[in-house]
Structure 1
Amino acid sequence: MIKNVTLIIILTLFMPEVMISQGMTTASVNGITKDTEGNILVGVNVKVTHDPSGTVMGGRSNKSGRFNVVGLRVGGPFTIEATMVGYSKSTLNNINLGVGQNMSIDIILSQRAVRTADVEVFASKGDIISSEKTGASQTISEEEINNLPTISRSIHDYSRLSPHVISSTSEGSNVGGRNSKYNTIQVDGAVMSDAFGLSASGTPGGQAESQPISLDAIQEFQVSVSPFDVREGGFTGGAINAITRSGSNNLRGGGYFFGRNGSFVGTSPDANRRPFDDFGESVIGARVGGPVFKNKLFYFMNGEYKSRTDPFTIALGDPSALRFFPLSADSLDIIRQISINQYNYDPGTFENYSRSTDAYKMFARLDYNISDKHRLTFRHNFVHAYQGKDITRAETFYSFSGQEYLFNSMQNQSVLQLNSVFGSRFANELRVAITSIDDSRDAQSPIRYPQITISRLGPDGSASVSFGTRNASQANELSQRIIEVTDNFNIFLGNHVITAGISNQFITFDNLFIQNFNGAWTFEGVEAYKQGIARGFTRGYSLIEGVEMPRARFSYGQLGFYVQDEWTIQSNFKILAGVRGDMFVFPDKPLANPKVMETFKNPTEFSPGGLRSDNMPNPLAFSPRLGFNWDVFDDKTNQLRGGIGIFSGRTPGVWLANQYSNTGMDLGFTDIRDPSFQFTEELGYNAPTGAIQTTEVNLIDPDFKMPQIFRANIAYDRELPYGFFATVEIIYGKTIYDAVYRNLNLKYAYDNDGNQIFGIDGRPRYMGRDRLSNDFTRVLYLTNTTEGNQSSYTIQLQKPFRQGIFTDLSLNLAYTYNIAMDVNSLTSSVAASNWQFNHIVDPNNPTLTNSLFSIPHRVLANLSYRFELAKGYNTTVGLFYEGRSGAPFSMVYFSQSSVYIGDANNDDHWSNDLVYIPTGPNDDKMILTTGNWDELEYFINQFDELTDQRGEISERYSLRQPWRNNLDIRITQDIPINRWQRFQISLDILNFMNMLDPTWGYMYFMPNSNYSMMRFEGYVSQAEINAGLYQQQDLNKIKSGFIPNFRGNNRKDIFSVSDLFSRWQMQLGVRYFF
């Protein structure tokens, strides 16, 4: 029967169709009991004791001689004792277990007449060659957390230790070439992701640049890319699971302080070599754990406070500076005085500004050994973080200080977990988690005011100044409530471990988001602002009588169930076959809009017809997987592993909230573009009389599927001499379902004969503001694409601690080649932005090209080495190096919507139109209106990618930023006090290469992942020819103006240089342990 069940599961693997997060939180031990002749012993009692806490779990070998002990704490050391009447006791000591590890240990018992000694196994956590390992994963041990460099104390500083992860504290982790929004972050297996999806880091509090939990509360991490255990899921990127510390029978704890200021940061990466003044950061905290009742009840607590001040370093009107805004302080003061004297509003200062960030963290955990069969764990995590935000000061955009708001984020999570064993055949793990996350924006100015933007400033007219309340922060709040219930039931049957489980989440969002609620005004030049003559006005307002600020309140449930068979076919060969089903249920429906139903009842160019605004899908999905592990020679020296399967996740909640916020029944929008529109402050609150008032509508495909990919993984691990291990690994992923947006209100342009109109470069033309329905602006449709793929090839060399020669040396070297492709990289939270800012030829039919998350080459090296200066005076040196390809970027036309420049396909949007690359001065498709051909040719010839695309429209994300090199160092020195107490001094240095040479270690980047090399000025018309501006043969040619970079025309000049991350940074730490 068991074989039939397994066969059914394997067959379902080929049924194409999400899985909720369910991470590993414990470890296990399994094996076979035999006598000295190799005969199976049945009924052997196996007891596993966690030595620090005295926690005991046990089991008995079955008729196949196999035993399974599950639900063990992570860490160690453990002692395993095996006893049976007539045989001597067998004892194995000093065993350490990693998260999710199921260590296989065969136990030999001898007749009682033979005296045997205890055996020390010295098993390390997360063994590289291990029978439970199938797909790509990386365990980051407590030693690596302690020894490797970090300043931010971020989860993502450790996820980057996986060869398959590109990560940063602010941008999260790109796992396997996938968007960080598609990852799942867990703590002790419970979800701690930002379910709504506004945080780039993917974690709660990320918008306030806070971590979701203190690093001192974490014992180890696990990063999974393609685990074939169906209990792990909820992602199409990767899973990052942090396991927290717990108390033991020994009182252990300590305090710590980390700090730095401007003198701990290098000088600016320009000729001026300016110091990083007005900067400071400090972290202070403590942790303690111990027994409440010995061997029975244990506690662990951690508290931490972090404070940071960041200066905004940009010069005013100084071209010699690394980063400068082209207006002088005197010019900005003129704008400020006009605002104060003429409009009675103080926009704040424009002088040096520093942003403050504060975060409070508290963590508490209780572990209760109810008996040797039942263990209960309760923990609570609290984070309150706040940060000043919305001040942008860059080369082309400058905010006054009054635009700042205080971002408040508060997070609470409680988790209760019960691990139970019932006899020798059954075990259960039950977990309940309750999470609340509250985010709000508090304007620092007491005056409710619209956003004011003054554009066309500076020598080339590309600069803008902004003040007032930022348009996205005028009405913006969010609350999230998440209840998670997971239960796993294990049945041990001979060589099979059957797992059946449920994993359910119930999520409620309460989101207030009204862009331009106070209004947003645009002026062209300072004089226009002084005269009150605006170029444009935009405002969002309520359409619901008696409700000033409509909110999107909705809930949904994800109901998951799964079954899995872990079948040990031979002692050296294991397969893992499982399948999971998940159903999404949306009990709350958006408001119905009759105009939507009427407009889209029949199919259109982009709509399938029959669409409604009050529709939400209820997808049911299946995720089958098959993994295997083969110990080739049955001696743990050579291992072949891998699998195939489907990995399923979910879209960020904000993409779903768009359907509830933008039905066309709750919010309306006024959008006026008039070069002589009179500014009146009252218009910030009331729509102007006679203005055209329309609304944006967001719809979802009634058959929408949550993100889902197919992954195949194959790897070979080999033990080398002296404790080294080599790995070769290949991962392939193919999109089954991903999200994509279309604007259903667009119309293609046709001539009088009914032929579709294309630009001379082959670009399809749209009808601009002549929409399908003038009742709406954009009608954005969230649907699916099946296009997209990722592939990676990795070679890796590892040497764990305490193995081979140099037992105090840990080493991890890896090279990964990765390619990722998609049609839209979906970096935004707003439907309009996800659609509008995808770099395209045709926005409603995006093509498969490089993904924003495609990083072809990555070299990784981290090592730590510990040595003793004198007895007890341990010194540890840890290094982390990463060299990798730069992120991709696109060439797009220069955008200036106020004068309708840059809209090459006439879809009424700018900043997204890919540039046509001319063949040369005699190109018959383009006329150069400004600049000269020599400059343009010189510029193009510096890019092989552009040279290869001559005579074509440049491909999305086809160019790359410069290669990045980064070397970080950590040095710790232990100073013993006595046997149980010691101090530790630490020094972390980031970008050590810049410390060696101030011209090294620069971090280049491309703002918004695009560069505007040319200005699109339209197509040559017959009227222009008749007026003598062009010749007849120029009809329909593209009018383009080359825009030389203000820093120069060389390739390196187009990139921005990060001021802070191109300097070395240092942090000093002091710890006390007892």
Structure 2
Amino acid sequence: MNNSRLRHLFLLVLMLFTAHLGWAQGVTTAAMSGVISDSKGEGLPGATVIAVHTPTNTQYVAPTNSDGRFNIQNMRVGGPYTVRVTFVGYKDLTREGINLALGQNFRFDQKLSDTSTELSEVTVTQRRDATMSADRTGAATTVRREQIERLPTISRSFQDFTRLTPQANGNSISGRNGRFNNIQIDGASNNDLFGLGNSGTPGGQAGTQPISLDAIQEFQVVIAPYDVRQGRFSGGGINAVTRSGTNEFSGSAFVFGRNENTAGKSPTPDPLTGQRTKLAEFSDYQTGFRLGGPVIKDKLFFFVNGEITRRSAPLLFRVANQVNGVNEVGSGIVSFVNTDQLQQISGVLRERYGYDAGSIGEINNETRSNKAFARLDWNINQNNQLTLRHNFVDASDDNLSRSQNNFRFGNNGYRFVSKTNSTVVELKSRFGSRFANNLLLGYSTIRDQRSVNGSLFPSVTINFGANTVVAGSERSSTRNRLDQDILEITDNFNVFAGKHVLTFGTNNEIFRFDNLFVNDGGGRYDFPDLASFLAGRSNASNYRYRQNYSLPGGKPTAKFGAAQFGVYAQDEYNVTEKLRLTAGLRLDLPAYFNNPSYNPRVDSTFAKAVETGPAQGAAYDVRTDRLPKSRLQVSPRLGFNWDVRGDQSFQTRGGVGIFTGRPAYVWISNQYGGTGVDFANFDRTGALAPRLATVVPDSVSRLPARASKGSIAVTDKEFRNPQLLRTNLAVDYRLPFGLVATLEGIYSKTLNDVLPQDINLANPTSTLLGDGRPVYTAGTNPATGGPNRYRNSRDFNNVILLTNTSKGYQYSLTAELKKQFENGFFATSAYTYGQSRDLYSGTSSVAVSTWEFNPHVSGPNNLPLSYSNFDLRHRVIGSFSYRKEYAGHFATTLSAFYNGQSGTPFSYTYFGTDINNDGGNPSGSSNDLIYIPRSQNEIVLVTDGVNDRRTTAQIWNELNSFIENDKFLKENRGEYAARNGARTPWQHRIDVRLMQDIFFTVGSKTHTLQLTADVTNFGNLLNKEWGRDYFVANQNFGLLRYQGLENGTTGRPTFSYGNGTTPTATKAYQVSQLSSRWQAQFGARYLF
């Protein structure tokens, strides 16, 4: 990075640290502000506001300024608070029962009566309302402790509560990949920064949650916070704060459990018996405790929590049998391959190669998780509070999956082990009435590792048309380990100046990564069919062997450091009592340390002008040892909140700003393993590929003498972190009966997004006759026996450049109606319509896969804007909870959550041989989108092998029937299928919780025995046809198999549909055999 810039930035950070004044209520705390006035509305200078957090007796004191204004920052989340206002010559005023939400700046405007008025001290009770808040500008959802305790959940995960955000869909927020979110617990980063898991949190690949739900006090999901202290995301921000102890000892012990007897039968019947089946034997239980209380009353408090999770889950899959020589019709639980074929494969591996492939029968994946959490809160004095907490997670998860289209032998799985330690120290200080400070230090270590099942053996993939059987060691797990260290330093400075609240701060993250990853490190064979596997090899061009291995003197692991430094300034200006403006500027500076190895051949080849390709006529200027420049990324923001009537009954809010996030650092890591001098790649097809044999992983001596330098990964020197412009406009309106209605629109425009390009792929040489798509081939390459893809340099295979694009956008419109807690009841409902379009949705990790898995028509280096993998469309949610106490010893609570949405996007592609020879033919599928024929005249259909005895007319009738019964295909005849243009059907799901409390007295305190029953997919319990969950594997469906050109090397392309033996699928999507069932979990909790 530029050393001058880095020095200046460190100097600025140092200056901010030496300034001992600041605040940071937005991420870990709450705040209170307002105007104290007399009966005429004139501000009272010198009045005293005392807010007391009743459970801990923590006091926050603030005098009013010359305008009668006061500000209290860094307040504990929750409550209840009692607030007392005093002023000489006026009656004291007290308000009780105030609860503060995470990130809320509670507006507390009060009028005092003078002593001549015949009134006693005024005491009222007030409940919080985070929606009608002067500090709220952008879209945000707060999930309170009461909701966490009452709403249904089985997994006890973040996602069970972030789903309350109307613009969210799973881990995706506002139509963006969950990798672009920023998750913080107690103000410190808690992200899967490397970007390998689906949950976005540490330990996600081990099937665990990052922290016990019992340790969480409150969640907040922010999408467009114009507060510049919140950043590091281009999707959404998820903030959580943990519980703390109080002056009263309290705690609970709990157990939750479920098994095969608390789940429904399969949504579809068994093809042989015609009966719906129960789940195989499994178990899932969670047990734990929490305890909090005083160490020194009013002074020092503790909170501890522990949790153990054990789960044994079946694969929900069985091997097919044949009926009259034909495999069973796939129903989502039956494989395409039958028992005899699998036993034949297993026998060959065992007898010929001495390898045990593992079970073909029922298998349970085991998941284990142990969590421990501890927190200390010290009220040093009235103006300083210190928090110290530590979180530990130790988890492991067995990974083996099977689907209707992919069968994996038992020893093709792996075990993922993850350990996380996270420590946070936070000092909150107040200096008189004008200043406050928040200093936060965080340090985390994450250790992840894979181990394969069984003994080491090359990965073996056998193709059965569009389906595959996989045996041997899992190809990505023979050498796979990741260590991460994260240091975070945040400090904020604030000055209260009349109507202005000025904020200055810094947020800095420093990372260290140590990644060992050798894909195909044990060797990988791809056989075109069962016969070639039985023969041990094939001369066919789609028979392939590849292996990556480290070179002598190379760096076997990717060890590098990275950082993201941030500074910001902001002014919150109360223009009037009704209008507040927030204007700020945030500067983020990414940095990378420890450059990769230098490959002079890449430099010399691509530093000169090339004749064709994405940068035709210009030099690429890439180096394997050069990482992106450290360049400031500027994020100005402006937000407003207008309390139209001045009584918090009708507000308009919105703003515009730039949000800068992080990349998934695995994309940067790819460059360390893709230099061409640290690892080599042996990749041969057809007659040049070796016969199947046991190959020792990473053993160069067992490889043929000639091996290519493999694929290269480089990063654009001008690469910028993901960044977008986001704006929103909303109206909140208070209705009768405590209802609040919201109408909100959000629009995001991509400024910098991630885009992989293969700069070694030249421009196409021709177009496909009839189809018209570009083609990248010209015959056969005699050196490899494979297609001769025209490349800028024959010295390399793929050369993947990680660069940026400014194309893409997302928008959503949301209508929401909610009622806050009152008399034991709360409810919310919302409808959202959203669209998201991009060039690349960021779903892959390995350099080549980021490029080759992206469906297209015009070439993978010339992508049009299309629907994102996270395109939302229609979503309807609703939740409610009602609690009724009765008979003095009992309370019953009924809660429910409903989610309905218009399916998941997916693409229709070809499979088989690569139709345009761009190299995008992962595992026999394809990245090539289909052309949808209007009639039989627009497609050349052929049979699929000698056993397919159908006529061309019969094949067309079957294909045409499929098209006519698919809305997307039918409406787009005569066009190329759009990426993610198709969608699975609407999905509806209702989850329900019934909770029974039994109160009794022990000594002078009330204890509670709490019994719970959670039922997910409750609709399926009422009707077996309800609650179905649909999916398309990898959001990609291979509809037609490309069979080559009419005349071998010329003519139109030919395709087959089905094979005449196995019945063709009637729908592209499948029904999930697990999530489409109702499932129940029962629990017991003892509270004291």
What is the TM-score when the length of structure 1 is the normalising length? 0.92
**How do residues 569-718 of structure 1 correspond to structure 2 at under 5 angstroms?**
569-604=575-610, 605-607=613-615, 608-617=619-628, 618-675=630-687, 677-682=690-695, 685-686=699-700, 687-718=702-733
CA contact (8 A) 1:410 1:438 kept: yes
Which residue of the partner structure matches residue 801 of structure 2?
781
Provide Cα deviations, 1:685-722, integer angstroms capped at 9, x if missing partner: 33533444231111111111111111110001111111
3-state SS of 2:92 partner: strand
Tell me what 2:178 maps to: 180
Question: Whole-Å Cα distance in 2 between the matches of residues 205 and 907 of structure 1?
Answer: 31
CA distance in 2, matches of 1:991, 1:120: 46
Shift of 1:423: 1.0
Q: Relative to structure 2, which stretch is displaced further, 757-766 or 965-974? A: 757-766
Question: In the aligned structure 2, how far is the partner of 1:472 from the partner of 1:119?
Answer: 69
Contact kept, 8 Å, 1:407 with 1:442, in 2: the verdict is yes
Q: 2:921 & 2:988 partners in 1: Cα distance?
A: 40
- Does the aligned pair in 1 maintain the 2:129–2:820 contact within 8 Å? no
Is the 2:94–2:124 Cα contact (8 Å) retained in structure 1? no
The residue that corresponds to 1:430 in the other structure is 439
Matching residue of 1:877: 894
Query: Which of 467, 472, 484 is the matching residue for 2:471?
Result: 467
Distance between the aligned counterparts of 1:406 and 1:709, measured in 2?
38
- 1:530-569 aligned at under 5 Å gives the runs 530-533=534-537, 535-545=543-553, 550-569=556-575
Give the structure 1 partner of residue 819 of structure 2: 799
User: Is the 8 Å Cα contact of residues 991 and 1001 (structure 1) preserved in structure 2?
Assistant: yes
Cα distance in 2 for partners of 1:769, 1:671 equals 15
Post-superposition offset of 1:247: 0.5
Contact 2:91 2:121 in 1 (8 A): no
Q: Secondary structure at the match of 1:793?
A: strand
Q: Distance in 2 between matches of 1:109 and 1:56?
A: 21
DSSP-derived class of the 1:939 partner: helix
Q: Any conservation in 1 of the 2:152–2:991 contact (CA below 8 Å)?
A: yes
Partners in 2 of 1:1043 and 1:116 — Cα distance? 87
Question: What is the CA-CA distance between 1:904 and the residue it aligns to?
Answer: 6.2
CA contact (8 A) 1:262 1:278 kept: yes
1:682–1:827 distance in 2 versus 1, CA, 3 Å: closer
- Cα distance in 2 for partners of 1:430, 1:976 equals 42
Kept in 1, the 8 Å contact 2:82–2:94? The answer is yes
SS of equivalent residue, structure 1 residue 181: helix
8 Å CA contact 1:507, 1:556 repeated in 2? yes
Mapped to 1, the partners of 2:677 and 2:769 lie a distance apart of 37
Query: In 2, distance between residues paired with 1:184 and 1:906?
Result: 34
List aligned pairs for 1:639-1038, cutoff 5 A: 639-675=651-687, 677-682=690-695, 685-686=699-700, 687-750=702-765, 757=767, 759-767=769-777, 768-802=788-822, 807-841=823-857, 842-895=859-912, 900=913, 902-903=915-916, 911-923=926-938, 926=940, 932-978=955-1001, 979-1021=1005-1047, 1036-1038=1051-1053
C-alpha separation between the residues in 1 aligned to 2:118 and 2:366? 68
2: CA distance, partners of 1:112 / 1:1044 = 93
Matched with 2:343 is 333
Counterpart-to-counterpart distance in 2, 1:330 and 1:130: 67
Post-superposition Cα deviations, 1:899-938, rounded to whole Å, max 9, x if no partner, equal x354466666651000011120223x65556652222222
Structure 2, unpaired ranges of 5+: 1-23, 270-274, 322-327, 778-787, 944-951
- Alpha-carbon shift at residue 473 of structure 1 (Å): 0.3
Q: 1:233 to 1:123 in 2, by over 3 A?
A: farther
Alignment-derived partner of residue 83 in structure 2: 80
Q: Which residue of 1 aligns with 2:8?
A: none
**Are 2:412 and 1:403 aligned?**
yes
Superposition map of 1:61-460 within 5 A: 61-114=64-117, 116-167=119-170, 173-271=171-269, 272-318=275-321, 319=328, 322-389=332-399, 391-445=400-454, 447-456=455-464
Q: Secondary structure at the match of 1:402?
A: helix
After superposition, the C-alpha distances for 1:77-132 in whole angstroms (9 at most, x for unaligned) are 11112223343332221111000111111233333455654545544345221111
C-alpha distance in structure 1 between counterparts of 2:696 and 2:209, whole Å: 40
Q: Name the stretch that deviates more: 816-825 or 57-66.
A: 57-66
Native 8 Å contact 2:451 2:478 kept in 1:
no
**Residue range with higher mean Cα deviation, 295-304 or 82-91:** 82-91
2:409/2:471 contact within 8 Å kept: yes
What's the offset of the Cα at 1:502? 0.4
Identity rate of aligned residues, in percent?
A: 40
Distance 1:125 1:238, change over 3 A: farther
Q: Is the 8 A contact 2:26 2:102 kept in 1?
A: no
Unaligned 5+ runs, structure 1: 1-20, 168-172, 751-755, 1025-1034
Q: Deviations over 1:1027-1059 (max 9, x none)?
A: xxxxxxxx63232222379886675x3321111
Which residue of structure 2 aligns with residue 3 of structure 1?
none
- CA shift in 2, pair 1:225/1:682, >3 Å: closer
Q: C-alpha distance in 1, partners of 2:770/2:64?
A: 77
DSSP-derived class of the 2:337 partner:
coil
- Given that 1:889 and 1:960 are in contact with CA atoms closer than 8 Å, whether structure 2 keeps it comes out as yes
Give the whole-Å Cα distance in 1 for the aligned partners of 2:66 and 2:644: 26
2:287 maps to amino acid: I
Do the aligned partners of 1:496 and 1:567 also contact (CA within 8 Å) in 2? yes
Paired residue secondary structure (2:959): helix
CA contact (8 A) 1:234 1:650 kept: yes
Instruction: State the one-letter code of the partner of 1:1070.
Output: A
For the Cα contact (< 8 Å) 1:23–1:241, is it kept in 2? Answer: no
Q: In structure 1, how many angstroms separate the alpha carbons of the residues matched to 2:536 and 2:959?
A: 39
Matched residue SS, 2:821: coil
**Greater mean deviation of Cα atoms: 247-256 or 394-403:** 394-403
Separation of aligned partners in 2, 1:960 and 1:166: 15
**Equivalent residues, number:** 1015
Q: What residue number does 1:514 align with?
A: 518
Task: Supply the distance in 1 between the matched residues of 2:942 and 2:143 (Cα, whole angstroms).
Answer: 56
RMSD of aligned alpha carbons: 2.0
Q: Structure 1: which amino acid aligns with 2:607?
A: K
Contact 1:90 1:116 in 2 (8 A): no
CA deviation vs aligned residue, 1:306-361 (integer Å, no higher than 9, x gap): 00001112121242654211333333223222222221221222221111001001
* Paired amino acid for 1:648: T
TM superposition shift of 1:530: 4.2
The 3-state SS of whatever aligns with 2:747 is: strand
Supply the distance in 2 between the matched residues of 1:367 and 1:532 (Cα, whole angstroms): 66
Aligned to 2:782: none
Give the deviation of 1:652 after TM superposition: 0.7
Scaled by the length of structure 2, the TM-score of the pair is: 0.91
Decide whether the 8 Å contact of 1:649 with 1:707 is kept in 2: yes
Question: What is the deviation of 1:166?
Answer: 1.0
Task: Work out the CA distance in 1 between the residues paired with 2:978 and 2:790.
Answer: 28
Deviation track 1:797-846 (CA, whole Å, cap 9, x = no partner) reads 111112xxxx3221101111111111111211112111101011110011
1:453-489 deviation digits (Å, cap 9, x = unpaired): 2333xxxx44432222111001100011000000011
